[in-house]
Amino acid sequence: MKTSMKYLGLFVIAVLSVVVSFGVVSAQTDVTICFGFQDLETEFWVAGHRAITETLRGQGIEVLEYNANEDPNRQLEQIRECIAQGVDGIIIIPQDGDSANTIVAEAQENDVPIAVFNRPPNDRSAGVIVVADNVSATEQAVEFIAQKALRQFEITGEAVTPLILVGALQDTNAIGRRDGFFNVITRYNERYPGLFNEPIEVATEWDAATALANLEAAITANPNVDFIFTSSDFLFPTIRSVLEPRGMWVPMGQPGHVLLAGLDGDATACQLIDQGYVDATGVQNLFLEAELTMNRLLQAIEAGETAPNEVLLDPGFALTAGNIFFQRSDMWGCVLYDDGFLDQ
Amino acid sequence: MAIVQDKLSPDSAFALTNKAKRSDRFSGGIGMLRRLLVSDYFVLYLTLLFFLVASIFYPTLSNPASITNQIQNFWPLLAVAIGQTFVLIIGGIDLSVIAVMGITSVAGALVMAENLDPAFFDKSPVWGSLMTEAGGVLAGNPLAVPAAVLTMLLIGTFIGWLNGVAITRFNLAPFMVTLVTSTFFAALALWLTQSRNISGIPEAYVTLGKGDIVSIYLGAKLTPDIARRDILPFITYPFMIAAGLAVVAQFLLSRTVFGRRMFSIGTNRKAAEVSGVPTQSVIIRVYMFCGFCAAMASVLYSGRLEIGQPSFPNNLLLDIIGAAVIGGTSLFGGKGSIRGTFFGVAFFVLLLNILNAMRLSPFIIDAVKGAFILVAALLDIIRTRVANQEQRV
């Protein structure tokens, strides 16, 4: 027993020492920015995280990173901890638009300037909010598909059945993308009656497993779907796993091709446009957004502004099979893809 | 010594020998470690040691603002961990606490929320009845907040009752029953809100989640231009609520027949039944209390976030059970205390803060948390053995 007690004591001390000494941060600069993100569950957020941290550290700024693991309560605790540590500014990628309001208010009440990256609070009047114009980017991508559908309709006279994979609707990005999709469908149906059938909506909750189950059910019930729009490119592999066994995963130019479009502009979308399976994707200009976030926050810190309030819009653009040759380098996903991101 | 022993009766001599043995066991470093290990304050000492060591590497952890922040993070977790401690003491487990927090958070918001956006909620099955553009059923009413809190507590207690009845009357495994209720009520909360958070929570409710009663300033002098971040919460509503709950729970456990019955059921349910303990009634009440505590935690969590939140992350369950186990509550039942859970929650909150300060990935954080719970469970076995040895000696 004595021996086991000794080992136990040594073990406890060793665990404590290892835990606290692992990863000690030593860098010290004049400006410290707290970067709290909800998680890095998709390529888009990984790339966004990389763009922000590299941009900040490139300027010699100390970055304190906090991952909330998709828990808004945890994120609130982490931001409070950042405030307690006396950071100069805060950048967050919130879990949802509602909790973002509370977190922005918490920072501003404590006189710390805060910027919200890409996932805006429902109330956009507080904080520096950098956001892609989801409606515009989606409209650009869906417009490209609508033109293709129109040509098909003029030849065959058969209405096109569209399907949209909807994101979690507590996220304003998901709402904007759904709105952009329906704007185009409605507009084209008004101009060309009978072009599109009633769109099928499939809930994903931004979760691949949920998307898979719901898409399987929707395609089984409606095997004549001609056009699928995914509210985020990270679901293309899910779409493929549903379409391929049914013989519907066919590249453009061949009979049976299902028109495919998405939004985000990730590496997988770039690869699939290259291969001819995906027709278009709405691209968020991630590099521009990271730069806008950092510049506005640093400007506020320098000017002593504790509660800067401004919405900075990234208009986005559509990368299509038609323009990929010219605009490839503007899409963050193609940059990652060309760097071998998908081979890692 | 030999002369004295000659004059003693055999029993006295035996006792003296044991005393000498015990004194020998408790002398020196090993003895001190043994005393420390069997102490009721072992986790507290460990927490303090951990804090001191961590503060050397991360000095910001020991600044007053950081300490008060950690204390504020402590209360909601304590509230829900108290209920889980009760359930663990009777040899059960409640996996539904996260779902209870979600559904009660939604139910409270359906009562008191103001101004709901139809664009978000018009597909909800309760739109037009429990939810309208004006808000919840009592939107704007001065009694909305008390009614909402009461509704939350009643629903939490009711779900606990369902769990208890299913476990006792149908003799089902607690793990299975609470997993089923968890799945059902988590889905119900998402269905009612269509996965959306409900905002527009009244200020009085927010105060319950993060309001200060007494704030302090630790500066050199009081000036009109004190920054808000330098005014630290000291006595807060979450503190009053969670500490009040802890006092009631401690009283129930240590000063009532009900508490003794809980321990007897956890130690040996059959023996308790044979001894005349109304086991079914006690088990049902314990699960009801656990549901009540989860609803109370929901008030604190949703109040500070200012939303009715249909889903709480599942890994919070690891924190709740982990805090209770680290505090010395046995997963096999029959052992545990509110004091231990209090220390366990303190240790867990500190651990999380340190792991965050180390900027570890969430995967590593969860792995470390899991490792600590395992170490705590092993320590508990060793502590029990040591305590039993001391008793035999």
Residue by residue, DSSP assigns A143-173 as HHHHHHHHHHHHHH-PPB-EEEEE--TTSHH
Residue A76 touches chain B, beta carbons under 8 Å: yes
Domain count, chain B: 1
Nearest to B195 among A9, A19, A170 (CB): A170
Please state which of the ranges A1-5, A184-188, B65-69 shows the lowest mean pLDDT: A1-5
Residues B261-277 have a mean pLDDT of: 94
Q: What's the pTM?
A: 0.78
Q: Which pLDDT score, from 0 to 100, does residue B28 have? A: 66
CATH classification of the domain holding B358 = 1.10.3470
Task: Calculate how close chain A gets to B65, using CA atoms only, in Å.
Answer: 5
Nearest to A23 among B227, B301, B358 (CB): B358
Q: Round to whole Å and give the CA distance between B221 and B365.
A: 40
With an 8 Å Cβ cutoff, are A112 and B119 in contact? no
3-state secondary structure chain B: CHHHHHCCCHHHHHHHHHHHHHHHHCCHHHHHHHHHHHCCCHHHHHHHHHHHHHHHHCHHHHCHHHHHHHHHHHHHHHHHHHHHHHHHHCCCCCCCHHHHHHHHHHHHHHHHCECCCHHHHCCCCCECCCEECCECCCCCCCCHHHHHHHHHHHHHHHHHHHHHHHHHHCCCCHHHHHHHHHHHHHHHHHHHHCCCCECCCCHHHHHHHHCEEEEEECCCCCCCCCCHHHEEEEEEHHHHHHHHHHHHHHHHHHHCHHHHHHHHHHHCHHHHHHCCCCHHHHHHHHHHHHHHHHHHHHHHHHHHHCCECCCCCCCHHHHHHHHHHHCCCCCCCCCCCHHHHHHHHHHHHHHHHHHHHCCCCHHHHHHHHHHHHHHHHHHHHHHHHHHHHHHHC
Q: Count Cβ–Cβ pairs < 8 Å, chain A vs chain B.
A: 136
Q: How confident is the model at residue B352 (pLDDT cuts 50, 70, 90)?
A: confident
Higher pLDDT, B196 or A91: A91
Residue A220 touches chain B, beta carbons under 8 Å: no
CA dihedral A85→A87→A92→A95, nearest 10 degrees, is: 10
Tokens of A180: 């952009």
| A30-131+285-313: CATH class | alpha beta
Chain A residue with CA closest to B28: the answer is A2
Q: Which pLDDT score, from 0 to 100, does residue A321 have? A: 84
Q: Which pLDDT score, from 0 to 100, does residue B8 have? A: 44
Tell whether B115 is covered by a domain: yes
With an 8 Å Cβ cutoff, are A85 and B66 in contact? yes
Q: What is the mean pLDDT of chain B?
A: 86
pLDDT greater than 90 at residue A218: yes
Tokens of B299: 């008030």
CB B304 within 8 A of CB B209: yes
Summarised one tens digit per residue, pLDDT across range B36-83 is: 777 778 888 888 988 999 888 888 888 888 888 889 889 999 999 999
Higher pLDDT, A55 or A164: A164
Of the CA atoms within 13 Å of residue A12, those in its CB half-sphere come to: 19
Phi, psi (5° rounding) for residue B196? -95, 145
Q: Which helix (H) or strand (E) holds A270?
A: helix A267-275
Q: How confident is the model at residue B3 (pLDDT cuts 50, 70, 90)?
A: very low
Q: How confident is the model at residue B393 (pLDDT cuts 50, 70, 90)?
A: low
pLDDT greater than 50 at residue A24: no
Q: Round to whole Å and give the CA distance between A28 and B263.
A: 53
Domain topology for A134-284+318-343: Rossmann fold (3.40.50)
pLDDT greater than 80 at residue B21: no
Summarised one tens digit per residue, pLDDT across range B196-246 is: 889 889 999 999 998 888 888 877 766 667 777 778 888 899 999 999 999
CB A169 within 8 A of CB A175: yes
Q: Which pLDDT score, from 0 to 100, does residue B222 have? A: 65
Q: Which helix (H) or strand (E) holds A268?
A: helix A267-275
Eight-state DSSP code of residue A42: S
Summarised one tens digit per residue, pLDDT across range A138-151 is: 999 999 999 999 99
Nearest Cα residue to B242 out of B192, B299, B190 = B299
Q: How confident is the model at residue B105 (pLDDT cuts 50, 70, 90)?
A: very high
Summarised one tens digit per residue, pLDDT across range B279-321 is: 999 999 999 999 999 999 999 999 999 999 998 888 889 889 9
Q: Round to whole Å and give the CA distance between B224 and B217.
A: 12
Domain that holds residue B89: 39-216+229-392
How many other CB atoms are there within 10 angstroms of residue B204's CB atom? 16
Tell whether B25 is covered by a domain: no
Higher pLDDT, A25 or B93: B93
Q: How confident is the model at residue A16 (pLDDT cuts 50, 70, 90)?
A: low
Q: What pairs with residue B48 in β-bridges?
A: none
Task: Calculate how close chain B gets to A195, using CA atoms only, in Å.
Answer: 27
Tell whether B21 is covered by a domain: no
Residues of chain B in contact with residue A169, where contact means CB-CB under 8 angstroms, are 120, 194-196
Q: Which pLDDT score, from 0 to 100, does residue B183 have? A: 93
Q: Round to whole Å and give the CA distance between A178 and A169.
A: 9
Chain B residue with CA closest to A2: the answer is B30
Q: Which pLDDT score, from 0 to 100, does residue B107 have? A: 96
Tell whether B113 is covered by a domain: yes
Residue A221 touches chain B, beta carbons under 8 Å: no
Q: How confident is the model at residue B6 (pLDDT cuts 50, 70, 90)?
A: very low
Residues A195-212 have a mean pLDDT of: 91
Distance between first and last Cα of chain A? 49
Please state which of the ranges A212-221, A271-280, A324-333, B224-233 shows the lowest mean pLDDT: B224-233
Chain A residue with CA closest to B119: the answer is A175
Residue with tokens 């000036």: B223
Q: Which residues are CB-contacts of B268 (< 8 A; sequence separation ≥ 6)? A: B334
Residue A313: helix, strand or coil by DSSP? strand
CB B344 within 8 A of CB B327: yes
Please state which of the ranges A42-51, A271-280, B141-150, B284-293 shows the lowest mean pLDDT: A42-51
Please state which of the ranges A16-25, A63-72, A295-304, B38-47 shows the lowest mean pLDDT: A16-25
Provide the edge-to-edge strand list for the sheet that holds A62-67.
A62-67, A32-37, A89-93, A114-117, A128-132, A310-314
CB A26 within 8 A of CB B359: no
With an 8 Å Cβ cutoff, are A20 and B354 in contact? yes
Please state which of the ranges B1-10, B273-282, B371-380 shows the lowest mean pLDDT: B1-10
Residues of chain A in contact with residue B363, where contact means CB-CB under 8 angstroms, are none
Residue A28: helix, strand or coil by DSSP? coil
Q: Round to whole Å and give the CA distance between B9 and A343.
A: 84
Nearest to A16 among B53, B120, B228 (CB): B53
Tell me where in chain A the CATH 3.40.50.2300 domain(s) lie. Answer: 30-131+285-313, 134-284+318-343
Q: Round to whole Å and give the CA distance between B26 and B199.
A: 59
Q: Which pLDDT score, from 0 to 100, does residue A266 have? A: 87
Residues A47-64 have a mean pLDDT of: 86
With an 8 Å Cβ cutoff, are B382 and A4 in contact? yes
pLDDT greater than 90 at residue B188: yes
With an 8 Å Cβ cutoff, are A65 and B196 in contact? no
pLDDT greater than 90 at residue B355: no
Q: Round to whole Å and give the CA distance between A71 and A66.
A: 12
Summarised one tens digit per residue, pLDDT across range B139-177 is: 889 999 999 999 999 999 999 999 999 999 999 999 999
Task: Calculate how close chain B gets to A254, using CA atoms only, in Å.
Answer: 39
With an 8 Å Cβ cutoff, are A102 and B307 in contact? yes
> Which CA distances in Å does B116 have to A121, B106, B123, B261, B328?
16, 13, 13, 47, 45
pLDDT greater than 80 at residue A11: no
Q: How confident is the model at residue A28 (pLDDT cuts 50, 70, 90)?
A: very low
Q: What pairs with residue A262 in β-bridges?
A: A281
pLDDT greater than 60 at residue B360: yes
Q: Round to whole Å and give the CA distance between B328 and B377.
A: 8
Q: Round to whole Å and give the CA distance between B66 and B69.
A: 5
Residues A232-242 have a mean pLDDT of: 94
With an 8 Å Cβ cutoff, are B353 and A67 in contact? no
pLDDT greater than 50 at residue A27: no
Tell whether B210 is covered by a domain: yes
With an 8 Å Cβ cutoff, are B227 and A4 in contact? no
Residue with tokens 């969670």: B242
**Residue from B38, B67, B105, B229 whose CB has the most chain A CBs within 10 Å, to mutate:** B229
Q: How far is CA B328 from the centre of its chain?
A: 13
**Residue from B27, B52, B75, B309 whose CB has the most chain A CBs within 10 Å, to mutate:** B309
